[in-house]
A = this chain, B = another copy of it.
Amino acid sequence: MPTTTWNRHHILSLADFSAVEYDTVLQTAASFQEVLSRRTKKVPTLQGQVVANLFFEPSTRTRSSFEIAAKRLSADTLNFAASTSSMTKGETILDTAKTYLAMGTDIMVIRHREAGVPNAIAQEMDRLGVKVSVLNAGDGQHEHPSQGLLDLFTICSLIDPTRPRIELLQGKKIAIVGDILHSRVARSNIWSLTASGAEVHLAAPPTLLPKLFADYFSEETAEKSLVTERLALSGVERSRSAIPNRQLFLHWDLEPALRDADFVMTLRLQKERMTAHLLPSLREYHQLFGITRSKLKLSKPDVKVLHPGPVNRGVEISSDLMDDPEFSLIQAQVTSGVAVRMALLYLIGSGKV
Chain A contacts to B: CB under 8 angstroms: 36, 39-42, 47-50, 52, 58-61, 64-65, 67-68, 71-72, 76, 78, 80-81, 83-86, 89-92, 95-96, 98-104, 268, 271, 309-313, 331-335, 337-338, 353
- The answer for the CA separation of A332 and B102 in the assembled complex, in Å, is 7
A71-B76, A90-B312, A310-B86 known; A335-B102 Cβ under 8 A: yes
A135: shortest Cβ distance to chain B, in Å?
Answer: 17
Interface core residue of A84, A96, A101 (most chain B CB under 10 Å): A84
For A269, give the chain B residue with the smallest CB separation: B90
A42-B47, A91-B309 known; A338-B99 Cβ under 8 A: no
B310 with A89: CB separation less than 8 A: yes
A91 with B310: CB separation less than 8 A: yes
- The answer for the CA separation of A117 and B41 in the assembled complex, in Å, is 29
Partner of A103, one of B47, B268, B313, B335: B335
A338: shortest Cβ distance to chain B, in Å?
Answer: 5
- Which 8 residue pairs spanning A and B have beta carbons closest together? A102-B334, A91-B310, A60-B85, A86-B310, A41-B48, A71-B76, A102-B331, A58-B84
- The answer for the CA separation of A222 and B150 in the assembled complex, in Å, is 61
A102-B334, A103-B338 known; A60-B76 Cβ under 8 A: no
